[in-house]
């Protein structure tokens, strides 16, 4: 009986040592995989940043030109509105009253 208990202890000790070895191997594999994933993620981030810079360089001038053109059109529309209001104040007032009446009538119906 004693001999069987000693044999079971030795088997259990071997199994624990084997499990510890397997856990160490697994930990090394996981650490290696995470390092590889971090490296690949960094490479993809660099690639994305490079593409974004190229896109900005390619279309940045067009976007700036369009923004400048929009500002010019806004200023022109503002100047035209002011000039029209100064030239025809009663027509402008009538238009504003008409728009207000129409808006009030439409909102009241709902």
Burial 46-74 (b: 16+ CB within 10 A, else e): eeeeeeeeeeeeeeeeeeeeeeeeeeeee
Angle between helices 89-109 and 2-87 (to 10 degrees): 140
Mean pLDDT of 11-17: 80
pTM over 0.85? The answer is no
Q: What is the domain extent for residue 14?
A: 2-109
**93, 101 Cβ separation under 8 angstroms:** no
Number of domains the chain is built from: 1
pLDDT at residue 110 in the model = 61
Give per-residue pLDDT as tens, 25-61. Answer: 777 777 666 667 677 777 888 888 888 888 777 777 7
Distance between CA 43 and CA 36 in Å, rounded? 11
Mean pLDDT of 66-86: 89
Give per-residue pLDDT as tens, 64-73. Answer: 888 889 999 9
* 6 compared with 89, residue with greater pLDDT: 89
Mean pLDDT of 7-18: 78
């Amino acid at each position: 009986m004693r001999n069987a208990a000693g044999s079971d202890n030795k088997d259990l000790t071997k199994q624990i040592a084997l499990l510890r070895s397997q856990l160490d191997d697994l930990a090394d594999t996981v650490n290696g995989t995470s390092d590889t994933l971090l490296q690949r993620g960094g490479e993809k981030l660099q690639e994305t940043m490079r593409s974004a810079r190229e896109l900005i360089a390619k279309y940045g001038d067009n976007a700036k030109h369009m923004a400048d053109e929009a500002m010019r059109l806004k200023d022109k529309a503002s100047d035209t509105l002011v000039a029209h209001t100064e030239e025809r104040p009663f027509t402008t007032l009538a238009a504003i009253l008409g728009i207000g009446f129409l808006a009030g009538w439409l909102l009241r119906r709902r």
